[in-house]
Structure formats: C-alpha cells, structure tokens
C-alpha cells in the first residue's frame, strides 16, 4: 500500500470556525515618517498592536485564549466562534476603537466568521481572506465593518453598531455608548497597562469624563489630523468620521 508522502511530511490539521477581525491604521506610512528616529514616537507606534492585547483585561473568559498576529500595522485577532460571546467580542473592538482614538490612531477593519488556522506561528484560511477583502475594499473609512453576508452579523443587536446603504459597522463615537463604557469600573491594573502601552498618564479621575467630553476630545484630534493630512483621499477619510461626530456634540 502506498503511503501518502504529504501526510508523512506535514501530518494532519484542520481549520476552526472562528470570529475573525482584521485591522490596520489610517495614515500608518505618514506615522512612521513623522516618528523618524524619535524614541518616544517609535514607542507610541509600537504600542498600537499591543492595545489589542489590552482587551484581555476586560474580555470575557472565553476570549482570553484567543489568538493575535501582527505585522506592521496589520492586526489579526480571532477566537473560536461561540454565539454566546459574539456581542461581547464586538463591543470589545468598539472599546479598542475608543482607546486607539485617544492615542491618535484611527483604525479601519472588518469582522467576519469563517474557517481559520491561527496559532502562534501562522494565520491563514478563508476567514482571513474574507476579512482582508472587506477591510481593503469595503471599509474605506476609519471604521470596522461587519460582514454583510452573514446573518449572525447582519442581525446582531448592540448599541455600538450603525449602518449606511451598504454596510453595518461599529460606531462607538456616541455620547451614550461612551458614557456606558466609561461608567464601567476600570481595574487599576488595566489603567496601568493602558498607560504603559499608550505612553499616556490617564487616571481614574480623567476616565470619569462624560461622553460629550470625550466627543470633544475626538473632535479636536480629528480636526488636527484633517489639517495635517497630505492628500485629498486621506482628508476625506478623516472628514467622514469628523462629520459623524460633530452633530453629536453639545457645545453648551
């Protein structure tokens, strides 16, 4: 009997059905150029992918065993698909959007569900192909879109999701959602971890700002990014998010 040489060389493995998130940063090339050789600016860039690890401090227990792979500003995060935790998982990424926005990083990404091989050494599979396709071709603006071909995501009911004519996407920059997130008690070790990774000095007192205060901070940051943008295409992306935030701010 002939022995399959491929099996002898590689053994056998299989895909897992996983929730898959794929993300990158708007203007990453410019961020690197602006950082030059400044150690503090380089440390800020290095903190970007590690912020996804910070989510473990507030994630449901089932997500702690998830996987993360990074390359430059590309981040792939996945966990075993379990409907009991889909809403929590999506909300975690809405929270990461907020945290990264405070650091001046505006992410674009996609969330899908699919077959994936993901361990400490490699990540590949149809699920990653689909997430990358959505992020690169459909997300366009600094937002995280939900796969429009999956009922689990098109029917998902969470208060940080919005939609346009083509896509549903995470929309955490709302006063009510920000109030809810910031009202959740943060453990000191989480705050310490955030400050260490972000190079910031946020205290529990500063975290007590109301949602409207945070919207003003995001407005200020985005306005600066809009002015500094070096191409019309990049300006349009910042402007898209800025125009969503402005009507939500109470100025008095």
Tell me which residue has tokens 């410019």. Answer: 30
More confident residue, 180 or 247: 247
Pairing, β 168-170 against β 67-71: unpaired
Comparing 38-42, 137-141, 172-176, the range with the smallest average pLDDT is 38-42
The closest alpha carbon to 17, from 93, 103, 116, belongs to 116
Average pLDDT rounded to a whole number, residues 187-193: 63
pTM comes to 0.85
Assigned token pair, 229: 């943008």
Average pLDDT rounded to a whole number, residues 2-21: 77
Average pLDDT rounded to a whole number, residues 28-39: 88
Percent of the chain with pLDDT over 70: 81
List Cβ neighbours of 195 (8 Å cut-off, separation of 6 or more).
201, 202
List, for residues 145-186, the tens digit of each pLDDT value.
Answer: 999 999 999 999 999 999 998 899 999 999 999 988 877 655
Tell me the CATH number for domain 14-248.
Answer: 3.30.70.1230
Task: Say what the pLDDT of residue 122 is.
Answer: 92
Q: State which of 58-72, 117-131, 222-236 shows the largest mean pLDDT.
A: 117-131
Task: Say what the pLDDT of residue 244 is.
Answer: 95
Task: Say what the pLDDT of residue 241 is.
Answer: 95
Percent of the chain with pLDDT over 90: 46
Confidence of residue 228 (pLDDT cuts 50, 70, 90): confident
Contact 246, 212 (CB under 8 A): no
CA dist 74 and 48 (Å) reads 10
Confidence of residue 3 (pLDDT cuts 50, 70, 90): low
Task: Say what the pLDDT of residue 41 is.
Answer: 87
Q: What DSSP element (H or E) covers 114?
A: strand 107-118
Phi, psi of 218 (to 5 degrees): -65, -40
Task: Say what the pLDDT of residue 55 is.
Answer: 59
List, for residues 49-80, the tens digit of each pLDDT value.
Answer: 888 876 555 555 655 568 889 998 899 999 88
CA dist 215 and 219 (Å) reads 6
Contact 140, 154 (CB under 8 A): no
Contact 86, 19 (CB under 8 A): yes
Q: At what angle do helices 188-198 and 86-103 cross, to 10 degrees?
A: 50
Q: What DSSP element (H or E) covers 110?
A: strand 107-118
Query: What are the residue boundaries of the structural domains of the chain, listed by start?
Result: 14-248
């Amino acid at each position: 009997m002939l022995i399959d040489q491929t099996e002898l060389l590689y053994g056998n493995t299989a895909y897992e059905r996983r929730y898959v998130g794929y993300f990158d940063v708007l203007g990453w090339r410019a961020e690197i150029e602006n950082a030059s050789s400044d150690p503090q600016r380089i440390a800020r860039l290095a903190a970007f992918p590690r912020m996804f690890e910070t989510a473990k401090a507030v994630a449901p227990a089932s997500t702690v065993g998830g996987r993360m792979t990074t390359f430059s500003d590309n981040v792939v995060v996945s966990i075993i698909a379990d409907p009991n935790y889909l809403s929590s998982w999506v909300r975690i990424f809405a929270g990461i959007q907020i945290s990264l926005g405070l650091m001046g990083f505006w992410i674009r990404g996609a969330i899908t569900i699919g077959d994936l091989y993901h361990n400490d050494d490699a990540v590949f599979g149809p699920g990653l192909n689909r997430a990358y396709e959505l992020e690169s071709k459909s997300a366009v603006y600094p937002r995280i879109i939900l796969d429009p071909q999956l009922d689990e995501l098109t029917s998902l009911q969470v208060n940080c999701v919005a939609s346009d004519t083509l896509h549903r996407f995470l929309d955490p920059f709302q006063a009510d959602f920000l109030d809810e997130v910031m009202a959740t008690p943060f453990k000191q070790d989480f705050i310490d971890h955030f400050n260490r990774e972000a190079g910031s000095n946020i205290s529990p007192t500063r975290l007590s700002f109301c949602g409207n205060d945070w919207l003003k901070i995001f407005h200020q940051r985005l306005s600066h990014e809009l002015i500094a943008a070096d191409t019309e295409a990049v300006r349009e992306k910042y402007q898209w998010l800025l125009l969503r935030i402005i009507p939500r701010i109470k100025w008095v």
